[in-house]
């Protein structure tokens, strides 16, 4: 069936043209041909088909590079994607254009434990509000990240420990039906890693790790520019790797998991214990004032000169560093980005992570390895989610 086969190849080429325009902006036909290694004539035909279905169009003559003048091509200006980043304690929704520039976002507080009906209801309200304000009638796709393991193929959470009531819930299909467009579901760490690759410090990295330290700890793995999910979609689950410890029991049942020491929940507990046992006057004062402590309070206490808080921060950073050192040995990445709420503890935490990781890894692997904090605020998840669905939409658009 040579004819249908050639049809499939064309489709792939159209998706690649769209991805180039999404990632690099308007390009001339000549530039597209060079990037995709096909002739200008082929590009012309592909762009013609994309124009028919309203996804891309020619915008006029390109600046001459000598020789015959080429024609500029751009994505359709009215493409809109929706990104939803659901966290444990709140969610961010956003709307982007075809190049994933964020046009508007809204942050909505809300506990994930209220269950999928309530949380997705709130998310959809916010999305519809944004779409109405922006005058968007038909978003082209919606991407969503949730703080737990996901079956990417089926679009459902799988036994997510922090998300009671979400196990097996058809998140992807619910959003697709409600918004009348294709949807993609992934875990929050993967979504953040993809956002970092599109618009953050990892923009030029092909093989990198995004380590998220929030309530839990996870890692997005990017190989040759694409997300690596592993055979069951649970690659990057580093929160339960074993670290040096005193035999602390993790919620997963094992001993000495990283998350049991360095996750946001564990740090908040340690801070509370330090306050209650009289080891930290600053944390005790903050606890008395507010009735509870968070991981971020440790940073405040450190800034106020609290020694016990500094110890907590140091030990946490060293344990993350121990795991990061192992990942450096195994994966030899070109960049490690640290993100998530706890990364708000900032450069003191980063210094400990770096110190341990560099000390424990071989020089060849760490010689040029930057370990840096994410510079994307919370819209990183929105951009990543939008990007994931954009790839699906582009691939499917012309079949």
Report the interface residues with its own copies, using CB under 8 A: 2, 5-6, 8-9, 33-34, 37-41, 149, 158-159, 206-207, 219, 221, 223, 228-238, 240-242, 244, 252, 254, 322-323, 325-327, 329-334, 359-362, 364-365, 367-368
Can you say how many angstroms the Cα of residue 316 is from the centroid of all Cα atoms in its chain?
23
Per the CB < 8 A criterion, the answer to whether 190 and 384 are in contact is: yes
Q: In the Cβ-directed half-sphere of 378, how many Cα atoms lie within 13 Å?
A: 17
Tell me which residue of 186, 131, 122, 195 sits closest to 160, measured CA to CA: 186
Q: Got the DSSP string for 350-395?
A: HHHHHHHHHHHS-HHHHTT--EEE----THHHHHHHHHHHHHHHHH
Residue number with CB closer to its own copies (123 or 201): 201
d(CA 308, CA 37): 59
b (16+ CB within 10 A) / e for 155-166: bbbbebebbeeb
Residue number with CB closer to its own copies (141 or 321): 321
The SS3 assignment for 105 reads strand
In whole angstroms, how close is the CB of 57 to its own copies at the nearest point? 22
In whole angstroms, how close is the CB of 363 to its own copies at the nearest point? 8
Q: What distances in angstroms separate CA 334 from CA 232, 279, 328, one per listed residue?
A: 25, 40, 9
Per the CB < 8 A criterion, the answer to whether 160 and 166 are in contact is: yes
What single-letter DSSP state applies at residue 229?
-
Residue number with CB closer to its own copies (8 or 138): 8
In whole angstroms, how close is the CB of 355 to its own copies at the nearest point? 13
In whole angstroms, how close is the CB of 333 to its own copies at the nearest point? 7
In whole angstroms, how close is the CB of 377 to its own copies at the nearest point? 27
Can you say how many angstroms the Cα of residue 234 is from the centroid of all Cα atoms in its chain?
15
User: End-to-end CA distance of the chain, in Å?
Assistant: 17
Per the CB < 8 A criterion, the answer to whether 327 and 209 are in contact is: yes
In whole angstroms, how close is the CB of 246 to its own copies at the nearest point? 12
Residue number with CB closer to its own copies (2 or 109): 2
Tell me which residue of 190, 174, 108 sits closest to 142, measured CA to CA: 174
In whole angstroms, how close is the CB of 26 to its own copies at the nearest point? 21
In the chain, which residue ranges form alpha helices assigned H by DSSP?
A: 2-24, 29-36, 40-52, 116-134, 171-179, 188-199, 259-262, 264-276, 281-290, 295-303, 307-331, 347-360, 363-366, 379-396
Residue number with CB closer to its own copies (121 or 370): 370
Residue number with CB closer to its own copies (131 or 324): 324
Q: Which residue has the tokens 């046992």?
A: 277
Residue number with CB closer to its own copies (81 or 358): 358
Residue number with CB closer to its own copies (39 or 59): 39
Phi, psi of 372 (to 5 degrees): -130, 160
Residue number with CB closer to its own copies (24 or 138): 24
In whole angstroms, how close is the CB of 191 to its own copies at the nearest point? 17
In whole angstroms, how close is the CB of 19 to its own copies at the nearest point? 18
Residue number with CB closer to its own copies (34 or 111): 34
In whole angstroms, how close is the CB of 263 to its own copies at the nearest point? 14
- Strand pairing report for 208-213 and 150-151: unpaired
């Amino acid at each position: 069936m040579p004819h249908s086969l050639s049809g499939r190849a064309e489709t792939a080429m159209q998706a690649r043209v769209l991805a180039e325009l999404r990632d690099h902006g308007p390009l001339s036909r000549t530039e597209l041909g060079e990037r995709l290694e096909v002739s200008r004539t082929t590009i012309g035909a592909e762009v013609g088909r994309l124009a028919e279905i309203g996804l891309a169009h020619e915008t006029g003559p390109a600046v001459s590079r000598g020789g015959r003048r080429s024609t500029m091509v751009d994505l359709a200006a009215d493409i809109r994607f929706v990104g939803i980043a659901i966290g444990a304690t709140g969610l961010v929704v956003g709307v982007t254009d075809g190049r994933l520039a964020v046009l508007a976002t809204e942050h909505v507080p809300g506990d994930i434990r209220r269950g999928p009906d309530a949380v997705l209801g709130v998310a959809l309200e916010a999305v519809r509000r944004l779409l109405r304000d922006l005058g968007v009638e038909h978003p082209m796709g919606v991407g969503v990240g949730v703080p737990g393991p996901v079956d990417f193929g089926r679009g459902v959470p799988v036994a997510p420990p922090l998300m009671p009531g979400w196990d097996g819930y058809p998140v992807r299909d619910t959003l697709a039906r409600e918004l009348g467009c294709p949807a993609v579901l992934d875990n929050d760490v993967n979504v953040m890693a993809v956002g970092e690759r599109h618009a953050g410090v990892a923009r030029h990295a092909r093989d990198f790790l995004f380590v998220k330290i929030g309530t839990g700890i996870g890692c997005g793995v990017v190989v040759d520019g694409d997300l690596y999910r592993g055979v069951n979609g649970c690659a990057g689950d580093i929160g339960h790797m074993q670290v040096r410890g005193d035999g602390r029991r993790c919620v997963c049942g094992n001993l000495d998991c990283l998350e049991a020491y360095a996750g946001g929940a564990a740090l908040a507990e340690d801070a509370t214990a330090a306050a209650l046992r009289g080891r930290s006057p600053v944390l005790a004062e903050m606890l008395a004032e507010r009735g509870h402590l968070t991981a971020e309070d440790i940073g405040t206490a450190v800034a106020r000169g609290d020694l016990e808080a500094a110890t907590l921060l140091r030990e946490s950073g060293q344990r993350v560093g121990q795991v990061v050192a192992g990942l450096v040995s195994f994966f030899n990445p070109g960049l490690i980005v640290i993100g998530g709420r706890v990364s708000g503890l900032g450069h003191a935490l980063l210094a400990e992570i770096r110190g341990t990781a560099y000390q424990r890894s071989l020089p060849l692997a760490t010689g040029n390895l930057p370990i840096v904090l994410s510079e994307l605020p919370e819209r990183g998840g929105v951009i990543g989610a939008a990007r994931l669905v954009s790839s699906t939409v582009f691939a499917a658009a012309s079949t």
